[in-house]
């Protein structure tokens, strides 16, 4: 608890952090590395507390495609079972002399053709039940593809801040003292302008014998830039006016705290303001290091080369 005594409680706290003050009710970090709140919601049915649209929009591409593929396979499998239960003899074009598995396979492919409204014509339904089932399947197929198309459009058109943050925050030399440094970089062919940054320190401090969450705004060397085309290193000078003043390397290792980073910027491609968030717990802060430069002049001097692969590279130094 040595660090708790080093906090100057006269520093103005951030009352608008959006996080609770009761430290005993919190578990783990405030914000995950990917920027999402570290919160698990309970007390309501799963179908009511989860937006399936937002879930499908936000999930990784591989998982989204896998769900569509599994849905396509499963629904055609179910319809093939229904066709088989009604009777293969009601699917004109499937020979009765064929094996059960061959008949079921042809029923499956007939279902796929009906679901996608391709309709090759090799197999056709006969009888009321089979015709009604194939008509219902065609309608479900049209609606399913309409939903899938909407999800595809939503995923491609969703305004996204294509920004990457360094894995670690650093305590580096700054001026005649030290500074907290966090680096970020745009990694796609987007044009960001009017970028703004806010950095907040979340600390568990002792007040009147109780542990309380306190949040402090950390002043930045630059909290706004006109164009974000290269890497941007956020620098918080650790002066007497900083809540981190007099913190040692051991203080960061032994105590609980978290640096919350919020970025907003205007994306010319989307013509919209986008946001990105991340956080660094004290054990993700490296004391005594500096970032390696990410960009340099090209050989012919006509361009500036931004090396995205060295975003996290740093060098150890001594104060």
Residue 241: give its domain's CATH number: 2.60.40.1400
Residue 63 in any domain: the answer is yes
Q: In b/e form, how buried is each residue of 299-308, taking b as 16+ CB within 10 angstroms?
A: eeeeeeebee
234 shares a domain with 127: no
222 shares a domain with 98: no
Domain span at residue 253? 160-316
Q: Which two tokens stand for residue 233?
A: 């290193």
188 shares a domain with 138: no
DSSP per-residue string spanning 187-230: -SS--EEEEEEEEEEEEEEEETTEEEEEEEEEP-S-SEEEEE-S
CATH code of the domain in which 152 resides: 1.10.287.70
Residue 32 in any domain: the answer is no
pLDDT at 6: 55
Residue 3 in any domain: the answer is no
Low-confidence ranges of the chain (pLDDT < 70): 1-12, 14-16, 20-24
245 shares a domain with 121: no
Residue 34 in any domain: the answer is no
Residue 151 in any domain: the answer is yes
263 shares a domain with 170: yes
Give the Cα separation of 106 and 22 in Å (integer): 63
């Amino acid at each position: 608890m040595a660090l708790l005594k080093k906090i100057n409680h006269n520093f103005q706290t951030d009352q608008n952090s959006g996080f609770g003050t009761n430290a005993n009710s919190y578990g783990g970090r405030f914000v995950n590395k990917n920027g999402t709140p570290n919160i698990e919601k309970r007390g309501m049915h799963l179908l009511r507390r989860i937006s399936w649209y937002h879930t499908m929009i936000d999930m990784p591409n591989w998982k989204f495609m896998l769900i569509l593929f599994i849905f396509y396979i499963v629904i055609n499998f179910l319809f093939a079972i229904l066709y088989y239960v009604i009777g293969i003899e009601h699917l004109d074009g499937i020979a009765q002399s064929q094996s059960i598995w061959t008949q079921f396979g042809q029923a499956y492919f007939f279902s796929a053709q009906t679901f996608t409204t391709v309709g090759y014509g090799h197999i056709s339904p006969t009888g009321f039940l089979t015709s009604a089932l194939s008509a219902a399947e065609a309608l479900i197929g049209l609606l399913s593809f309409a939903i899938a198309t909407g999800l595809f459009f939503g995923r491609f058109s969703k305004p996204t801040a294509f920004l990457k943050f360094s894995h670690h925050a650093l305590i580096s030399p700054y001026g005649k003292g030290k500074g907290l440094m966090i680096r970020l970089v745009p990694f796609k062919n987007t044009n960001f302008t009017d970028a703004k940054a806010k950095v907040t320190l979340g600390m568990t401090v002792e007040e009147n014998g109780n542990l309380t969450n306190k949040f402090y705004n950390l002043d930045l060397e630059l909290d706004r830039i006109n164009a974000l085309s290269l890497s941007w290193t956020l620098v918080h000078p650790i002066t007497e006016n900083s809540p981190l003043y007099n913190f040692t390397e051991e203080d960061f290792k032994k105590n609980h705290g978290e640096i919350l980073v919020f970025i907003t910027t205007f994306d010319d491609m989307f013509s919209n303001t986008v946001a990105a968030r991340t956080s660094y717990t004290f054990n993700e802060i490296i004391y005594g290091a500096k970032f390696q430069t990410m960009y340099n002049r090209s050989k012919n001097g006509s361009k500036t080369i931004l090396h995205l692969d060295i975003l996290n590279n740093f060098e150890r130094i001594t104060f």
